[in-house]
């Protein structure tokens, strides 16, 4: 087993995977747990398969992370009410960071299935068929979930640029 | 399904730009609740800290995700120019100061070596902490700029809280409705209610509860309380090693119309205190509409 290669993979793609985990989860602690669980699985697979099937490890890890997340969502059915966070203004020089904070805050407000669907479809660039396979639901459901998610996100994110709000 | 319109396309483009501006996440090693492979992630994090110019860090579990002012796609990699190297002493000192702050406020932090600026998003008023961070930054030639941390709009929160309380009262008065969860969604002005079985009277009642304040109530199908209780029972049983040290064991749990009943053996009084204080039940008690959790003796003892 090429352990160095595994470490190299984590160094190179760890931040991308965590980014995905943060987008899927409702808080960073859960995202860290999800990433950790994914890396554990990946490490075991890496040992077992000696990279035979890991010619593109990021895709493999991403799939593993999403499956774990979907599985976890089925087990943990409690929703935790969290304070709602919103960026009230996004002035330079930190506009990009503000956008990111706003995006993740808006994603966290979505129901889990909508969040998964929109993250995979539009942020991870997966096809409807791929998302449907990973989420284990019909393609029509994926389309409905992404449509609903976009509608909610538009309302949330548009307001970020409207400090007065329309409450 | 209709084709994406221009507004959706613009929205997706904005989201993609924000999403793919991946921060060099110092928190990967520092904050994660690692259960295994700590060396692995620590090694990765150390490498990241050494290599990348921008660090952002979220302060607590409910804080927004870490993010950074670092632009570009992930594949473009971090800017490794020596002049952009992060002063790791600076970031360590800042994190230490933030970690030792009372109440652990939520925060995000970005260090920009290019402009010699530290951007800080901090929740709440903390003049003393800000001054101390500013001193730390200045001592290393950086300016500290504080930015408003994403916060709830109090008007929206109050409105949603009022609707939520109304819905809780409906549930308390009618435990047969079997609600399991209630979620407030301020940015979308919605209250999402998850119910365990279809009931049109219930749907009408909660919708009306929202309508009084102009809040949309979305009613969704929730998992059955039986399966939720099963998860709860599994979680509690998995802690039996700890519970036994306190004089009792959790044997199981079963659902009722008014909430789950947990069966224990041993010291019932200790069990009631310990289980009610445990994290999972805090969630159930405070944030989920599960009216009562009863801890009782297992008759099979």
Tens digit of pLDDT for each residue in A29-88?
677 778 888 888 788 777 766 554 556 778 888 888 888 777 665 443 333 333 323 333
Contact A167 B156 (CB under 8 A): yes
Average pLDDT over residues B82-102: 65
* Predicted ipTM of the assembly: 0.71
What is the spatial distance between Cα A156 and Cα A105, in angstroms, rounded to a whole number? 9
Cα–Cα distance measured from residue A156 to residue B213, given in angstroms and rounded to the nearest whole number: 19
What does the longest C-alpha to C-alpha distance in chain B come to?
A: 71
- A125 pLDDT higher than 80: yes
Tell which phi-psi region holds residue B104, choosing left (phi > 0), alpha (psi between -120 and 50) or beta. left
Interface size between A and B, measured as CB pairs under 8 A: 243
In angstroms, the CA A153 to CA B225 distance is: 30
State the smallest CA–CA distance between residue A143 and chain B in angstroms. 7
What pLDDT, on the 0 to 100 scale, is given for residue A114? 84
Mind listing the pLDDT tens digit for each residue in B3-48? Answer: 566 777 888 888 888 787 655 433 333 332 223 333 334 333 333 3
Q: Which residues pair with B210 in a beta bridge?
A: none
Of the candidates B33, B62, B147, which has its C-beta nearest A82's C-beta? Answer: B62
Distance separating alpha carbons of residues B132 and B155, to the nearest angstrom? 33
Mean pLDDT, to the nearest integer, of B58-80?
32
Q: What are phi and psi of A76, to 5 degrees?
A: -95, 105
Q: How confident is the model at residue A158, as a pLDDT?
A: 63
| Residue of A81, A109, A110, A163 for testing the chain B interface, max B β-carbons within 10 Å | A81
Per-residue pLDDT tens digits for B139-188: 988 888 887 655 545 556 667 777 777 877 776 676 555 554 555 554 45
Give yes or no for residue A17 having a pLDDT over 80: yes
Task: List the structure tokens of A68.
Answer: 């774990």
pLDDT in tens, B236-252: 888 889 889 988 888 77
Chain B closest-CA separation from residue A120 CA (Å): 11
Q: Please, what sign has the CA dihedral across residues A135, A140, A143, A145? A: negative
* Collapsed DSSP state (helix, strand, coil) of residue B128: helix
Beta-carbon contacts of residue B117 (< 8 Å; ≥ 6 apart): A93, B111, B142, B143, B144, B145
Instruction: Inform me whether the pLDDT recorded for B104 exceeds 80.
Output: no
* Residue A59: closest CA among A47, A49, A67, A71: A67
CA neighbours closer than 13 Å in the CB half-sphere of residue B63: 23
Task: Provide the 8-state DSSP code for B183.
Answer: E
**Distance, CA of B199 to CA of B183 (rounded, Å):** 19
Evaluate if residue A167 carries a pLDDT over 50: no
Distance between CA atoms of residues A19 and B22, nearest Å: 7
Angle between helices A3-24 and B38-51 (to 10 degrees): 80
Q: What band does A97 get if pLDDT is binned at 50, 70 and 90?
A: low
> Mean pLDDT over residues B65-87, rounded?
35
Q: Closest residue of B to A75, CA-based?
A: B231
For residue B103, what pLDDT band results from cuts at 50, 70 and 90? low
């Amino acid at each position: 087993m090429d352990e160095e290669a595994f470490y190299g993979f984590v160094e190179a793609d760890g931040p991308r995977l965590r980014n995905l985990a943060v987008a899927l989860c409702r808080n960073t602690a859960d995202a860290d747990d999800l990433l950790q669980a994914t890396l554990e699985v990946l490490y075991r697979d890496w040992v077992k398969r000696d990279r035979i099937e890991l010619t593109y490890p990021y895709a493999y890890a991403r799939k593993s992370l999403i499956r774990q997340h979907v599985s976890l969502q089925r087990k943990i059915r409690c929703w935790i009410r969290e304070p709602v966070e919103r960026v009230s203004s996004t002035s330079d020089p930190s506009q990009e960071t503000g956008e990111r904070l706003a995006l993740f805050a808006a994603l966290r407000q979505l129901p889990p299935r909508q969040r998964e669907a929109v993250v995979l479809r539009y942020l991870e660039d997966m096809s409807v068929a791929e998302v449907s396979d990973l989420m284990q639901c019909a393609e029509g459901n994926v389309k409905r979930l992404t449509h609903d998610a976009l509608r909610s996100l538009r309302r949330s994110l548009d307001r970020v640029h409207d400090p007065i709000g329309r409450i | 399904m209709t084709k994406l319109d221009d507004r959706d396309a613009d929205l997706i483009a904005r989201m993609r730009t924000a999403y793919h501006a991946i921060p060099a996440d110092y928190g990967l090693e520092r904050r994660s609740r690692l259960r295994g492979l700590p060396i692995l992630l620590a090694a990765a994090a150390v490498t990241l800290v050494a290599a990348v110019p921008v660090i952002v860090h979220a302060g607590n579990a409910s804080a927004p995700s870490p993010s950074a002012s670092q632009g570009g796609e992930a594949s473009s990699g971090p800017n490794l120019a020596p002049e952009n190297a992060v002063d790791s002493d600076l970031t360590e000192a800042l994190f230490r100061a933030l970690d030792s702050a009372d109440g652990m406020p939520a925060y995000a932090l970005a260090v920009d070596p290019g402009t010699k600026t530290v951007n800080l998003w901090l929740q709440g008023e903390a003049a003393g902490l800000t001054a101390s961070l500013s001193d730390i930054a200045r001592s290393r030639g950086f300016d500290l700029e504080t930015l408003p941390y994403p916060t709830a709009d109090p008007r929206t929160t109050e409105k949603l809280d009022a609707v939520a309380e109304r819905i809780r009262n409906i549930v308390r008065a009618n435990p047969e409705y079997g609600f399991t969860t209630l979620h407030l969604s301020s940015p979308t002005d919605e209250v999402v209610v998850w119910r365990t079985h279809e009931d049109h009277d219930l749907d009408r009642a909660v919708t009306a509860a929202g309508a009084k304040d102009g809040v949309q109530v979305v009613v969704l199908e929730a998992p059955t309380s039986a399966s939720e209780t099963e998860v709860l029972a599994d979680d509690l049983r998995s802690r039996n090693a700890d519970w036994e040290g306190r004089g009792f064991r959790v044997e199981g749990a079963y659902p009722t119309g008014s909430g789950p009943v947990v069966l224990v053996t041993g010291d019932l009084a200790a069990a009631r205190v310990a289980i009610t204080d445990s994290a999972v039940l805090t969630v159930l008690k405070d944030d989920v509409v599960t009216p009562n959790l009863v801890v009782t003796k297992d008759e099979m003892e």
